[in-house]
Amino acid sequence: GRLLGDRYEIVEKIGGGGMALVYKAKCKLLNRYVAIKVLRTEFINNEEFINKFRRESQAAASLSHPNIVNIYDVGVEGDIYYIVMEYVKGKTLKELIREKGRLSYEETIDIAIQIARALSHAHKNHIVHRDIKPHNILVSDDGRIKVTDFGIAKAATTSTVTNTSNVIGSVHYFSPEQARGGYTNEKSDIYSLGIVMYEMVTGRVPFEGDSPISVAIKHIQEDIVTPRQFVKTIPESLEKIILKCVEKDQSLRYDSAEELLKDLEKAKELKDGSYVEINNY
């Protein structure tokens, strides 16, 4: 039967990236809103994209965590490939940063902790997200973070070579190994989260350029301008954490999201006044 049409009522289009369109819909039976991600019609004859879409739903569905968007259902109906998931009422982190210019250190740490928890859970389940960027991080109206879009996620058991041709949009958040088209692993997600944290506190990404290639090359070889050179009041403890995430050499980066989480939680405890005052002397 026509499951999609029988069960869901489309309310509006809420987003769309390179690969798919996302709609807000109402599940008639359960009387709740859901988000339905549908593979763009130009890709329905493209086996590579169909496989990617299938992998996305499998990767995301194997995870159950408060900071990861919940998957309810997947299916194919005629030429419609769809994923039904939890609807997050709110905005993307990209929109939040754009609105505010940059975020406070408290808010940055708070958001980073929630993303690190999501990554820690995914990595424990041997899934590397590989596309961590503010557009893929949803901020609910009550301040909860939900990571979405496991579109290029891979099982972490075998390191995988990046195929940059379809994911060019994320190059600002690419780790050097991703930019090289080399092997990615859990530490690649940590690098991307470091870039996201950099953007939250400074309002800008560290590497920009005229073409994706020029940005990729900067991730590989250009020294990063430290966040405090843009915003002097950024606490040293937070800058240290960001810089350890974006080390070009994987062996100098945090070993795990868990380890990063510990430092973030320490920095959160520090926040009450101590470092704000230092900058006023």
C-alpha angle 77-78-80 in degrees, rounded to nearest 5: 60
Closest distance of CB 133 from ligand ATP, Å? 7
Residue 19 interacts with ligand ATP (CB under 6 A): yes or no: yes
Residue 134 CA to residue 139 CA, distance in Å, equals 10
Name the residue nearer to Mg ion (CB basis): 90 or 259.
90
Contact pick of 105, 149, 160, 234 for Mg ion (by CB under 5 A): 149
Calpha distance 189→119 (Å, rounded): 8
Q: Considering the rule CB under 6 A, would residue 148 count as an interface residue with ligand ATP?
A: yes
- In this chain, which of 38, 59, 88, 201 binds ligand ATP, going by CB under 6 A? 88
Q: What one-character DSSP code corresponds to residue 171?
A: G
**CB under 5 to 8 A by kind: which of Mg ion, ligand ATP, none does 117 bind?**
none
Q: Which of 199, 174, 197, 171 is nearest to 98 (CA)?
A: 199
Q: Give the largest Cα separation in the chain, rounded.
A: 70
87 touches ligand ATP by CB under 6 A: yes
Tell the smallest beta-carbon distance from residue 149 to ligand ATP (Å). Answer: 4
Query: Which residue number is nearest to ligand ATP in terms of Cβ?
Result: 17
Is 131 an annotated catalytic residue?
A: yes
- Cβ atoms of 254 and 260 within 8 Å: the answer is yes
Give Rg (Cα) of the chain.
19
User: With respect to ligand ATP, which residue has the nearer C-beta, 175 or 237?
Assistant: 175
Window of 73-81, 121-129, 133-141, 262-270 that interacts with Mg ion by CB under 5 A: 133-141
Token output for 51: 């496989």
Q: Which of 6, 73, 110, 131 is catalytic?
A: 131
Buried-exposed string 164-179: b where 16+ CB fall within 10 A, e elsewhere: beebeebbbbbbbbbb
- Note whether 151 binds Mg ion by CB under 5 A: yes
Neighbours of 273 (CB within 10 A): 8
Task: Point out which residues bind Mg ion (CB under 5 A).
Answer: 17, 136, 149, 151
Task: Point out which residues bind ligand ATP (CB under 6 A).
Answer: 14-20, 22, 35, 37, 69, 85-88, 92, 135-136, 138, 148-149, 151, 169
